[in-house]
Copies of this chain bind each other. A is one copy, B any other.
Amino acid sequence: MSDIPTRLQPIFEQIDKNTEANIAKLATAISFKAVSGDESLRPELFKKADYIQSLLEKLNCTDIQQFDLGEEKPGLSLPPVILARLGTSPTKKTVVVYAHMDVQPASKEDGWDTEPFELFHDKENGLLIGRGSTDDTGPLLAWLNMLEAHQQLGLELPVNLIFCFESMEESGSIGLDKFIEDEAKTSGYFFKYASKIDSVAISDNYWLGTTTPALTYGLRGCNYYQIKVDGPKADLHSGVFGGCIAEPMIDLVQLLSTLVNSKGEILIPGVNEMVAPVTDAEREIYKSITYSVEEFNESSNSNTCLFDNKEDILMHRWRMPSLSVHGIENAFSGQGAKTVIPATCSGKFSIRTVPHIDSDKLDALVIDHVNKQFAKLNSPNKMVCELVHNGAYWYSDPHNSSFTAASKATELVWGQKPDLTREGGSIPITLTFEQQLKSSVVLIPCGKGNDGAHSINEKIDLENYVKGAKLLGSFLYYFSETD
């Protein structure tokens, strides 16, 4: 294994040599306004997919296909998923690489300092600024940049790769779950040349902070609920009916107030009891992570943190459940002062789930609690509490072969051990890959915690873009050597 750095040395040098060209490639890739959430921009997603396909073709990928996922709604086609292959050697391991081509909405009016779809190279600070630079076009290109270096040097990869690039990640990955499931079948794409997938690598998250690289071994799940209260058949005037009619909004506010308190503590009986106890060993992991209350406050741009130490913050972000109240549909939500009694209203809230919360049991606890609380109100209105959607949490062994290889790669490229992190949010496709491809999954982020993935002035540090290619390449070498 000690000769790996020797084998990687020329590749690293080639990646460095290609820096200007790779920046230009990123500039082209982010120039597509590939906003999956904006129907009017749908053609841009197709154009960007064609551009990415052209890069895959230049890299001599095979079996490149754009898959049609059907329509998002009548008259609106879903953008394609690209699958492509590099290598079909039966003696090599096979790694699936997932990334997404679509981006969050962005416009200069939102407060960007530069045009979001024109890459700005801030040379003074070493930043590549533009929508998609870090989420997820930059990391996607880091994979391709690594491959190009191999091609230029006439080197073969130590593993087989299968690329899976989608275009709807920022809009719920519509259609992808079913697609992966179908293609994971014996007649499908993934197992055409290999009897098993050895690892799935995803670079679609970020370091915790800005100084220490990270590998991510857990994601919270999300069960999203709605409490709908129905009263009169139509909205009423509060002057005429106020005081005489049972107001759905009053019932709803009472119900929502029983779910969680201002300290963020979930008040629904039985939920906290399902959470895996914190072990002493786990506490030690959290102590070693580079993080601070100040970093948290910087990321929220406020001083409204519920905790005063990094351990509590990280545990409540990663391994404790949380309940957020998102809003209310059908009540008055405009500006000004409308004196309406909404006839119906739906409160939306979600619970982030962690080991060992059983999703079905959680649903039962939530719905039972809300039903009991509503019964207490003795209201003549009708109330239904229901699950809107759920996505399970994901939790991996951070010491399996994928993580061990990724950890070595990180040490080689960044000169320090990665933080072993979890994420508070969900990447539902992670679990789909794990389950459908029966493979371990490793989240191996390229960008820093302050990249502003869904915010204005999204950036990736040039260093992270360049070292990202080296990191992903190194990961494949170390992974190829594992048992």
Contact = CB atoms under 8 A, between A and B. Distances in A.
Interface of A: 220, 222, 224, 226, 231-234, 236-247, 249-251, 253-254, 256-257, 260-264, 296, 299-307, 313, 316-317, 320-329, 331-335, 337-342, 345, 348, 350, 352, 377-381, 388-389, 423-426, 454-455
A264 B378 CA distance: 12
| Leading 7 A-B pairs by shortest Cβ distance | A239-B425, A243-B322, A327-B332, A327-B331, A333-B333, A257-B257, A242-B322
Nearest to A374: B262
A218 to B, nearest CB: 12
Contacts of A254: 257, 261-262
Contacts of A313: 244
Contact of A306 (B233, B244, B340): B244
A435 to B, nearest CB: 20
B253 A325 contact: yes
Most B Cβ at <10 Å: residue of A239, A240, A302: A239
Query: What is the total number of copies of this protein in its complex?
Result: 2
Contacts of A261: 250, 254, 377
A260 B242 CA distance: 12
A111 B150 CA distance: 67
A306 B380 CA distance: 8
Given A253-B257, A331-B333, 10 more contacts: A226-B337, A232-B301, A244-B296, A245-B306, A254-B261, A256-B257, A262-B377, A304-B380, A326-B340, A327-B338
Nearest to A343: B302
Most B Cβ at <10 Å: residue of A224, A231, A331, A342: A331
A321 B243 CA distance: 7
B243 A262 contact: no
Contact of A245 (B243, B304, B321, B377): B304
Contacts of A334: 327, 329
B244 A305 contact: yes
A322 B423 contact: no
A329 to B, nearest CB: 6
B348 A337 contact: yes
B389 A246 contact: no
B337 A424 contact: no
A205 to B, nearest CB: 10
Contact of A247 (B236, B253, B264): B264
A423 B333 contact: no
A338 B326 contact: yes
A221 to B, nearest CB: 10
A324 B341 contact: yes
A374 to B, nearest CB: 9
Contact of A424 (B241, B250, B325, B381): B241
A387 B301 CA distance: 29
A339 to B, nearest CB: 6
A250 B237 contact: no
Given A254-B262, A301-B234, A339-B224, A306 B246 contact: yes
Contacts of A321: 243
B337 A389 contact: yes
B253 A425 contact: no
A388 B241 contact: no
B325 A245 contact: no
Contacts of A257: 253-254, 256-257
A320 to B, nearest CB: 6
20 contacts: A220-B239, A224-B339, A236-B300, A238-B326, A239-B424, A243-B320, A246-B305, A249-B327, A250-B260, A250-B324, A254-B257, A254-B261, A326-B338, A326-B342, A327-B331, A327-B332, A328-B331, A329-B332, A337-B350, A337-B389
Contacts of A381: 304
Contacts of A380: 303-306
